[in-house]
């Protein structure tokens, strides 16, 4: 088997193409996904290959096209709906929360909604306070939907097909800074991956750093730096934000006895708060230090580069937090 060099964007595109080829019920719709090739160029070239029936440009109305996607799913299709950014998804929150997440329950199990919604999340590209927030933690609050956050090329390529096979709504959060990430993958058939389990991306003995999506790389860089100081960091990638895989997290924390949670969302009421609570609930007696969190500053995301950098978790922030939990008491 040969390998190819590929970007996160190309891996995602390959996953959509693969799904369109595998199952003719699958179609992609969203703003600018067709002729423009997607606002992050994920769907570039797909209109030419699959035609306007399956690569559909929509009006600028998130509520309308997400609602249409729900209807199509109920009608037997397998729609992939793309929303430009998580900030805009709030216009469709009514459809997602009140319809997609609830119809199975409210129909007494008669109507499931096999819908996949992809959207971009996160900061780091100077897109300011209306395009840069990390609100996946909000969605992870909602019962009835599954939330995944591919942070690697394998997950970018493998999660979509598994999500499409899920009988219920799945939201895929793609961190905007990842699209340019480059790496190698096996050149061959697309391999679907599970969307249930967290993954240990780097084994270590001294401390567990728990993260997902865009900050996985931040944490791995911090771990490298700490390794040169003799601190052995284990990095856990949550992958699925709802339902959370407690077992993998707790297994790691009960081995290392220390936990740092890195979450680009705001700290108050965040996913990091939920994970911290679960660790306290289930592994209190195994902790050797208070749980630490590294989150975004609680401000609307700044435009200026140095302010944006200061607002979001950086490797140095993770390094300091780890040093606090394993550190010398200073």
Partner 1 sequence: MAADTFEFTMPSLGADMDEGKLVEWLVKPGDEVAKGDIVAVVETAKSTIEVECFHPGVVDKLIVEPGTTVPVGAPLATMSSGRATEPSRPAAVPAESTPATPAPGPVAGDRPPVAGPLIRRLASQLGVDLSAVHGTGHDGAITRADVRRAASRQPEPAPGPQPPPPPAGVRISPFAQQLADKLGVDLATVTGTGRAGAIRAEDVRAAAERKPTEPAAAAERAEPTEQPAPVSRKEAATDRNEAMRQVTARLMARSKREIPHYYLRTTVDVTDTLAWVRERNRELPITERILPAGLFLRATALAATEVPALNGYWQDDAFVPSPTVNLGLPVSLRGGGLITPAIADAAQLDLADLAVKMRDLATRAKAGRLRGSELTGATITVTNLGELGVELVYGVIYPPQVALVGIGKIVERPWAVDGELRVRSIVTITLSADHRATDGATGARFLSALSRALNQPERM
Q: Which residues of this protein are in contact with partner 1, per CB under 8 A?
A: 257, 284-289, 324, 328-329
Q: How many CB atoms lie within 10 A of CB 110?
A: 8
Sign of CA dihedral 194, 195, 201, 203: negative
H helices of the chain, in order, are 8-22, 46-50, 62-74, 86-89, 93, 103-106, 136-139, 153-165, 216-227, 246-256, 271-283, 305-311, 315-326
Distance CA 116, CA 174 (A): 13
Catalytic residue among 10, 31, 62, 82: 62
Instruction: List Cβ<8 Å contacts ≥24 apart for 324-328.
Output: 324/289, 324/292, 325/207, 325/258, 325/259, 325/260, 325/289, 325/290, 325/292, 326/206, 326/207, 326/231, 326/258, 326/289
Least distance (Å) between residue 283 CB and partner 1:
9
Least distance (Å) between residue 268 CB and partner 1:
21
Angle at 98 between CA 95 and CA 101, to 5 degrees: 90
131 catalytic, yes or no?
Answer: yes
Least distance (Å) between residue 289 CB and partner 1:
6
- Cα-Cα end-to-end distance for the chain: 52
Closer CB to partner 1, 221 or 278, in the complex: 278
Quick one: 93 exposed, middle or buried, by C-beta within 10 A (0-12, 13-18, 19+)? middle
Closer CB to partner 1, 81 or 253, in the complex: 253
Closer CB to partner 1, 241 or 294, in the complex: 294
Distance CA 129, CA 132 (A): 6
Closer CB to partner 1, 110 or 330, in the complex: 330
Catalytic residue among 10, 131, 264, 308: 131
Query: Are the C-beta atoms of 330 and 268 separated by less than 8 Å?
Result: no
Least distance (Å) between residue 297 CB and partner 1:
23
Closer CB to partner 1, 6 or 325, in the complex: 325
Least distance (Å) between residue 290 CB and partner 1:
8
Closer CB to partner 1, 75 or 329, in the complex: 329
Least distance (Å) between residue 318 CB and partner 1:
18
| Strand, helix or coil for residue 34 | coil
Catalytically active residues are 62, 131
């Amino acid at each position: 088997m040969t390998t190819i060099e590929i970007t996160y964007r190309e891996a995602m595109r390959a996953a959509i193409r693969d799904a369109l080829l595998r199952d003719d019920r699958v179609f992609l719709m969203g703003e600018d996904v067709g002729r423009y090739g997607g606002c992050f160029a994920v769907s570039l070239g797909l209109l030419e290959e699959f035609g306007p029936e399956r690569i559909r440009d929509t009006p600028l109305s998130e509520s309308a096209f997400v609602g249409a996607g729900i209807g199509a799913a109920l009608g037997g299709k397998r729609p992939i709906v793309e929303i430009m950014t998580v900030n805009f998804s709030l216009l469709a929150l009514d459809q997602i929360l009140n319809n997609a997440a609830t119809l199975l329950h409210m129909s007494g199990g008669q109507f499931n909604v096999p819908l996949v919604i992809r959207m971009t999340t996160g900061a780091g590209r100077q897109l300011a306070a209306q395009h840069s927030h990390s609100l996946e933690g909000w969605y992870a609050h909602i019962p009835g939907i599954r939330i995944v956050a591919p942070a690697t090329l394998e997950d970018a390529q493998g999660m979509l097909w598994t999500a499409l096979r899920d009988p219920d709504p799945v939201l895929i959060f793609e961190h905007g800074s990842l699209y340019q990430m480059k790496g190698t993958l096996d050149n061959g058939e697309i391999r679907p991956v599970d969307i249930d389990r967290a993954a240990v991306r780097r084994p270590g003995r001294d401390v567990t750093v728990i993260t997902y999506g865009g900050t996985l790389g931040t944490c791995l860089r911090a771990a490298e730096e700490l390794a040169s100081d003799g601190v052995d960091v284990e990095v856990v990638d949550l992958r699925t934000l709802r339902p959370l895989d407690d077992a993998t997290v707790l297994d790691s924390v009960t081995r290392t006895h220390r936990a740092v949670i890195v979450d680009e969302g705001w700290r108050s009421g965040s996913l990091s708060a939920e994970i911290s609570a679960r660790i306290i609930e289930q592994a209190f007696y195994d902790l050797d230090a208070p749980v630490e969190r590294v989150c975004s500053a609680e401000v609307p995301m700044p435009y200026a580069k140095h302010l944006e950098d200061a607002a979001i978790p950086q490797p140095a922030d993770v390094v300091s937090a780890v040093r606090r939990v394993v550190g010398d008491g200073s």
